[in-house]
Amino acid sequence: MIKLVTLDLWDTLVTDSKSNERKRDLLRTDFIIRTLNLMEDYKAKILDYFEELVESFKHPGEENEWALLPETQLLHLFKEIDACPDVEQFKKILTFYTGCILDKLPVLTEEGVPEVLKTLKEKYKLALISNTGRTPGKVLRRLLKKLGILDYFDMLIFSDEVKMRKPEPKIFLIACEAFHVLSEETVHVGDSMLIDFNGALSAKVNPVLYLPNGNPPATPFVKSLFELKDSMGKYYDKN
């Protein structure tokens, strides 16, 4: 019997256009250049760094441990471009870097996300498990609140706060332990085959792949979150 459903955040519940993220990167870059009085030719270097950073988010591992926290992402950047901000400058940059998502919000992947969460919550405990990038859990809570989905969750697990990232098996078991639920009584839903589906499997949690477009590489999958309850019933929650 399934008792707990954990959900991924990015591209499962919430999504953002590439152009939005690019705009934010330009704003972050300009802010860093202004705050540190750097020459304009640093702009390309910083933007290149952001592109590499986004790639490293897709393959979390020991080799890019520095990408786990916004603070260490910035320290890594400053080392690469040979910049030495003082404590005040660093704080100012960090605040802008982590908070600028709130000025132009991402959107829900499907209009009915709140309705889906409400229905799931009637039957299951709900937890969010999110690998964070430039925006930490502290800011993501405010974002979830603004999008109207914060209160559906019994627990929020952000990688920057628990200092581990999916697909590490341990991160999938935090909510199980908190609610005294077995991994086999848990379903994890997410859009990434590597990070969500295989990660959940490695923790013996039942995976469901969220795949709105394209050919499914694995089963079970759903093309809409509205299919989730039926899919879970068919594959995992038979009673």
Q: Which positions lie near Mg ion, rule CB under 5 A?
A: 8, 10-11, 191
Of 47 and 211, CB closest to Mg ion: 211
Cα distances (angstroms) measured from residue 148 to each of 12, 61, 80, 156: 15, 32, 39, 15
- The helix (H) or strand (E) run that includes residue 66 is none
Of 168 and 191, CB closest to Mg ion: 191
Of 10 and 197, CB closest to Mg ion: 10
Q: Are 8 and 190 in contact (CB under 8 A)?
A: yes
We find the least distance from the C-beta atom of residue 219 to Mg ion, in angstroms, to be 19
Of 27 and 193, CB closest to Mg ion: 193
- Residue 161's nearest CA partner among 120, 129, 204, 200 is 129
We find the least distance from the C-beta atom of residue 191 to Mg ion, in angstroms, to be 5
How far is residue 187's CA from residue 120's CA, in Å, rounded to a whole number?
A: 12
We find the least distance from the C-beta atom of residue 130 to Mg ion, in angstroms, to be 8
We find the least distance from the C-beta atom of residue 51 to Mg ion, in angstroms, to be 18
We find the least distance from the C-beta atom of residue 183 to Mg ion, in angstroms, to be 20
We find the least distance from the C-beta atom of residue 209 to Mg ion, in angstroms, to be 11
Strands 107-108 and 14-15 come out as antiparallel
Of 129 and 181, CB closest to Mg ion: 129
Which amino acid appears at position 110 of this protein? Answer: E
List of E strands, the chain? 4-7, 14-15, 107-108, 125-130, 155-158, 186-190, 206-210, 221-222
Strands 221-222 and 4-7 come out as unpaired
Cα distances (angstroms) measured from residue 15 to each of 8, 21, 48, 169: 11, 11, 22, 24
Of 57 and 78, CB closest to Mg ion: 57
